[in-house]
Structure 1
Amino acid sequence: MARLEYLELPVGDRAAAKRFYAQAFGWTFTDFGPDYAATMNGDTDVGLDAASDRVKAPLPVIRVEDLDATLASVEAASGVVTVPVFAFPGGRRFHFRDVDGHELAAMQPD
Structure 2
Amino acid sequence: MSSINNHINYIEFKAIDLKDIKAFYEQVFDWTFTDYGTNYTAFANSGLAGGFEKTDQMMTNGVLIVLYHKNLETVKQKIKNLGGNITVDIFSFPGGNQFQFLDPSGNELAVWCETQK
Contact 2:88 2:101 in 1 (8 A): yes
Amino acid at match of 2:51: G
Residue 25 of structure 1 corresponds to which residue in structure 2? 29
Partner Cα separation in structure 2 for residue 51 and residue 12 of structure 1:
5
Partner residue, 2:75: 70
Q: Secondary structure at the match of 1:22?
A: helix
* Number of aligned residues: 109
1:85 corresponds in structure 2 to: 90
Q: Which residue of 1 aligns with 2:7?
A: 3
Matches within 5 A, 1:51-70: 51-52=55-56, 57-70=62-75
1:45 offset after TM fit, Å?
1.1
- Name the TM-score, length of structure 1 as normaliser: 0.89
Give structure 1 regions of 4+ aligned residues with deviation exceeding 4 angstroms: none
* Matched AA of 1:3: H
- 1:10-62 superposed Cα distances (whole Å, 9 cap, x missing partner): 10110110011111111101000001000245x62121111447x86210011
* TM-score (normalizing by structure 2): 0.84
Instruction: For 1:78 and 1:44, locate their aligned partners in 2 and report how far apart those are by CA, in whole Å.
Output: 29
Q: Residue type matched to 2:10 in 1? A: Y
Contact 1:36 1:51 in 2 (8 A): no
Distance in 1 (CA, whole Å) between partners of 2:68 and 2:8 is 6
Residue in 2 that maps onto 1:36: 40
Structure 1 residue runs without a partner (length 5+): none
Letter matched to residue 64 of structure 1: H
Gapped regions of structure 2 (runs ≥ 5): none
Q: Helix, strand or coil: the match of 1:49?
A: strand
